[in-house]
């Protein structure tokens, strides 16, 4: 099959684009990255095999328009048809237009492609650099099987499928494993059988539990009746004990009521009303007292503030002094910043100088001067020293190497000297070999001569027979012609014919006889028999050994001469090296003199190696620059310090003027704080004086209002005193408390009586009112006995109830539980699951066996052919370094063989050689497949890792393949002009 025309309606970046491939079998699509090569390849795959809707959406035209196109192909029988696919028509399925005007569908196209689907096509007829990158990521121990799978099916899926089947089999069952599914099911099934047996035993205990339950229910009922009777008796006794204090209190209250007078005159709720009036007056009394105290305090404060106020002149002097302090503060801040910068720069300079580890200080750096040519001088000295040292090192290394070579050559010469034979022995061997070769030559020539003479005798005999029969035939025909002439009227004619035939027969006889006589001396030559009188005295093996000894002696002589020449050359090299070394030592002496000049000029360089002088120069230059900055900062600090002192003198003068009584003058900051505090205090005194005047006025008004509010409450208090027949507060409160105590006792008596009448009988109540006593100790003893009896009864009931509850729970669990059925059901489920898993394992095992059988069949029938083609291409791609690819008969692995017969596993090959083997396998498989499928090849930059020679060999192979297959090669390289492609049917398509 061959692609003739490409018409793209819209696909990715391609829109309304046509390509004509009608007359080319090798198409090279060349372009840079992002040019659209891969998109064009995907379009061809889309047209041949289609795409899913999700994949098609990735290639929708960026500028709008419909996705799809047409592809015209030519089949092996010469017919053509056009494939059309559109994204939004027929769900992306193909419409095929044949040359006779018919329209076919997707099924017809599949038949034309001989059943090749997208995956098969990509595995066999397409490969790119992505496949090789995946090959690079595979483990070394797996690469051989991967490539073997490629040789079988064109893809590594065969290898991964085998791995997957082995993994599935191990996940299902291992003879000694515990984690596989079937192993776990077998263990679980054993445990489940034990659980079923346990549940069956529990069911047999149910009847025994039921009898025990009835017995416990009867015992609990008896104990509960006894408990109820005890509870009633205990409740009555507790009520008597509970109200024992109430009875005593009731009798006590009756006795106290008898001590009060019969009538007490006092206003209704007099104490409460009096207390309410006092509560209303208390805040007013307190408020009036507070106002009076505040008023007195404010008047005193007002007087003190007036005395503490400053005069206006002093205030103006303070304000002027504070304004001058701002200038002093600015100068001080600047001085601090500059001082800080100076100190930091000084510390940094000292640190940098110390880091140099030189005999220098800050003052030395200030006066240090480095001429402009110093850096160049130091660099030249450093470079010259490095060059001299390197030259001396190289000379020493070369000298050592020459000595090693000379020693090695001398050893080799000594070894050759031991292997040299004497001249007489070599000459004797040459003479013996020459005699043996003469004998062999004569024997060979004799054998050939005898064979030639035998062949000549057979030829001569055959030729004589032919001549004899031809002569007889000619004479016979002449006799027949003469006889016919005698019998017919035309006698002369037949007589002439007969004579002619006789003459021809005689001529043929004479010619053959003459040729045999002329050739016989050539084949029947004789040789000097004396040459063959001597027979061979040694065997061919001994003769070969003599020749090898002679050749080895010749090689030894030549090698001795070569070694002598090499030793002479090495001696010359040693002399030259000595001269060169002396020259560099003289340079080193001159360099030391130059260095000494610099050390005299700059003594601190004694502690620094010459290699670091250029780097030190830059450090010194930086230090000098920083020193200049330091000097400038030092001058600025001195100027700011003088200005600060001037400001401070004026501020202290003002301070002594304002505070004449202060004999000591504080610091400037303290002066500012004191002046500011004095001014703020003056302002605060002024504000407080004004506020004090307002406060005195408000307090006087509030005090008058409080006095007016107190008058109504005082009138009501006097009215209550009159109703109680008292004249003062103390008598009123005493009479009120007496009245209140009587009412309290009376109400208590009524409450106690009501409570007791509700719980006691009339007889008990009558006895209590009369004052008869009740003994609490007797009631308490009886209560303790009854409580102990009740606790004993409760314990017995709880014990029985707990036993009954345990039995009920057990019986209920047995009655309501489906444990036995569940366990049996689970047991049968596990057996079913085991059968299912065993069936699944059997399927995987069968698939694994079938795959092995298929591989074995392939090994026998097809793989030899594939490996034969692979070996041919692999040999060409590796430039003859490997000439054969074969299968290891013991373990079935892939091997390669070099010309010496050494074999290598795939893991032992370099990554580039593995790539070349992969490409060779794909080509070898495609040659086998092309017998039934002649699909075009799509190659997408699959050789980017090949060197120039491998690319040239690969291009040659592709050119050869293009004679039987159409090949479309997508690449970013400019390879269309390679010599191996110039004579091919090539079409270069640049995009």
Cα-Cα-Cα-Cα torsion 155, 984, 957, 110, nearest 10 degrees, comes to: 20
**Residues near 460 by Cβ (< 8 Å), separated by ≥ 6?**
516, 520
Angle subtended at Cα 713 by Cα 711 and Cα 718, rounded to the nearest 5 degrees: 100
Q: What is the pLDDT at residue 863?
A: 73
Query: Contact, 325 vs 672, CB < 8 A?
Result: yes
* DSSP H/E element including 20: strand 14-20
Residues of the chain with pLDDT under 50: 135-156, 527-533
pTM of the prediction? 0.36
CA 948 to chain centre: 35
* Cα distance between residue 131 and residue 137, in whole Å: 10
* Cα dihedral across residues 76, 81, 84, 90: positive or negative: negative
Query: Contact, 570 vs 384, CB < 8 A?
Result: no
Q: What is the pLDDT at residue 171?
A: 66
Q: What is the pLDDT at residue 929?
A: 67
Query: Contact, 35 vs 941, CB < 8 A?
Result: no
Reading the block at residue 828, the tokens are 């049968």
Reading the block at residue 519, the tokens are 């050739």
* Cα distance between residue 140 and residue 563, in whole Å: 46
Q: What is the pLDDT at residue 593?
A: 87
Q: What is the pLDDT at residue 136?
A: 47
Query: Contact, 944 vs 129, CB < 8 A?
Result: yes
* DSSP H/E element including 718: helix 668-723
The C-alpha R_g of the chain, in whole angstroms, comes to 67
């Amino acid at each position: 099959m061959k692609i003739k025309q490409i018409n793209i309606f819209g696909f990715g970046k391609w829109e309304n684009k046509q390509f004509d491939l009608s007359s080319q079998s090798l198409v090279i699509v060349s372009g840079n990255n992002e040019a659209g090569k891969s998109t064009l390849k995907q379009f061809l795959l889309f047209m041949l095999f289609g795409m899913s809707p999700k994949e098609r959406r990735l290639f929708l035209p960026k500028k709008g328009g419909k996705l799809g196109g047409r592809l015209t192909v030519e089949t092996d029988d010469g017919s053509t048809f056009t494939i059309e696919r559109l994204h939004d028509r027929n769900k992306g399925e193909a419409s095929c237009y044949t040359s006779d005007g018919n329209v076919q569908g997707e099924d017809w196209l599949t038949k034309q492609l001989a059943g090749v689907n997208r995956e098969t096509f990509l595995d066999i007829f397409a490969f790119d650099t992505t496949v090789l990158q995946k090959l690079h990521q595979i483990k070394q121990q797996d690469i051989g099987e991967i490539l073997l799978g490629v040789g079988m099916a064109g893809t590594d899926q065969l290898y991964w499928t085998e791995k997957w089947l082995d993994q599935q089999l191990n996940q299902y069952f291992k003879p000694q494993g515990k984690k596989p599914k079937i192993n776990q099911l077998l263990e679980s099934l054993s445990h489940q059988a034990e659980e079923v047996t346990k549940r069956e035993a529990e069911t047999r205990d149910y009847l025994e539990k039921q009898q025990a339950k009835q017995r416990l229910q009867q015992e609990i009922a008896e104990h509960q009746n006894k408990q109820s009777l005890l509870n009633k008796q205990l409740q009555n006794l507790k009520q008597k004990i509970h109200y024992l204090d109430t009875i005593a209190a009731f009798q006590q209250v009756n006795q106290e009521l008898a001590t009060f007078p019969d009538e007490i005159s006092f206003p209704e709720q007099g104490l409460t009303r009096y207390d309410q009036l006092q509560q209303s007056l208390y805040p007013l009394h307190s408020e009036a007292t507070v106002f009076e105290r505040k008023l007195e305090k404010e008047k005193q404060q007002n007087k003190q503030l007036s005395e503490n106020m400053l005069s206006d002149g002093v205030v103006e002097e303070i304000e002027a002094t504070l304004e001058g302090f701002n200038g002093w503060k600015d100068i001080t801040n600047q001085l601090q910043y500059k001082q800080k910068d100076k100190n930091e720069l000084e510390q940094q300079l000292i640190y940098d100088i110390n880091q140099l580890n030189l005999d220098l200080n800050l003052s030395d750096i200030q006066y240090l001067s480095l001429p402009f040519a110093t850096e160049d001088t130091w660099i030249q000295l450093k470079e010259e020293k490095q060059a001299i040292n390197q030259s001396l090192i190289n000379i020493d290394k070369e000298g050592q190497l020459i000595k090693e070579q000379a020693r090695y050559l001398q050893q080799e010469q000594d070894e050759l000297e031991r292997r040299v034979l004497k001249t007489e022995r070599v000459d004797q061997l040459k003479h013996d070999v020459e005699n043996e070769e003469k004998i062999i030559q004569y024997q060979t020539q004799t054998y050939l001569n005898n064979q030639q003479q035998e062949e000549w005798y057979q030829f001569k005999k055959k030729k004589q027979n032919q001549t004899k029969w031809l002569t007889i035939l000619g004479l016979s025909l002449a006799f027949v012609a003469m006889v016919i002439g005698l019998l017919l009227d035309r006698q002369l004619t037949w007589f002439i014919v007969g004579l002619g035939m006789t003459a021809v027969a005689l001529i043929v006889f004479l010619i053959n006889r003459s040729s045999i006589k002329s050739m016989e001396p050539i084949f029947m030559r004789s040789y000097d028999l004396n040459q063959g009188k001597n027979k061979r005295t040694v065997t061919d093996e001994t003769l070969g050994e003599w020749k090898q000894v002679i050749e080895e002696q010749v090689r030894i002589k030549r090698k001795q001469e070569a070694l002598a020449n090499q030793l002479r050359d090495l001696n010359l090299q040693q002399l030259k090296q000595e001269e060169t070394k002396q020259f560099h030592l003289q340079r080193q002496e001159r360099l030391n003199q130059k260095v000494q000049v610099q050390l005299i000029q700059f003594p601190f360089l004694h502690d620094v190696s010459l290699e670091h002088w250029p780097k030190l120069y830059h450090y010194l230059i930086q230090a000098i620059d920083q020193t200049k900055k330091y000097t400038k900062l030092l001058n600025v600090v001195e100027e700011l310090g003088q200005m600060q002192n001037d400001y401070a003198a004026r501020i202290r003068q003002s301070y002594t003027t304002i505070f004449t009584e202060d004999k000591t003058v504080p610091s400037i900051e303290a002066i500012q704080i004191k002046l500011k505090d004095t001014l703020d205090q003056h302002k605060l005194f002024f504000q407080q004086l004004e506020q004090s005047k307002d406060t005195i006025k408000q307090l006087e008004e509030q005090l008058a209002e409080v006095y007016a509010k107190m008058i109504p409450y005082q009138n009501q208090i006097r009215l209550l005193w009159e109703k109680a027949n008292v004249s003062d507060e103390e008598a009123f409160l005493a009479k009120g408390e007496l009245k209140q105590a009587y009412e309290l006792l009376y109400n208590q008596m009524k409450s106690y009586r009501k409570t007791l009448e509700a719980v006691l009988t009339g007889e008990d109540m009558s006895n209590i009112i009369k004052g008869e006593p009740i003994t609490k100790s007797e009631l308490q003893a009886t209560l303790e006995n009854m409580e102990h009896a009740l606790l004993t009864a409760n314990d017995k009931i709880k014990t029985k109830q707990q036993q009954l509850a345990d039995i009920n729970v057990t019986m209920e669990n047995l009655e309501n539980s489906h444990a036995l059925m569940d366990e049996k059901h689970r047991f049968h489920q596990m057996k079913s699951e085991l059968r299912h898993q065993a069936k699944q394992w059997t399927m995987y095992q069968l698939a694994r066996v079938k795959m092995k059988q298929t591989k074995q069949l392939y090994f026998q029938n097809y793989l030899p052919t594939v490996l034969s083609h692979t070996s041919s291409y692999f040999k060409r791609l590796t430039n003859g370094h490997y000439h054969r690819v074969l299968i290891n008969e013991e373990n079935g692995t892939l091997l390669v063989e070099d010309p010496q017969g050494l074999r290598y596993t795939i893991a032992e090959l370099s990554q580039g050689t593995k790539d070349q083997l992969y490409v060779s396998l794909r080509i070898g498989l495609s040659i086998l497949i092309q017998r039934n499928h002649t699909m075009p090849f799509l190659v997408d930059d699959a050789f980017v890792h090949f060197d120039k020679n491998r690319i040239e060999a690969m291009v040659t192979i592709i050119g050869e393949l293009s004679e039987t297959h159409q090949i479309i090669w997508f690449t970013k390289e400019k390879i269309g002009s390679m010599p191996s492609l110039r004579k091919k049917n090539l079409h270069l398509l640049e995009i």
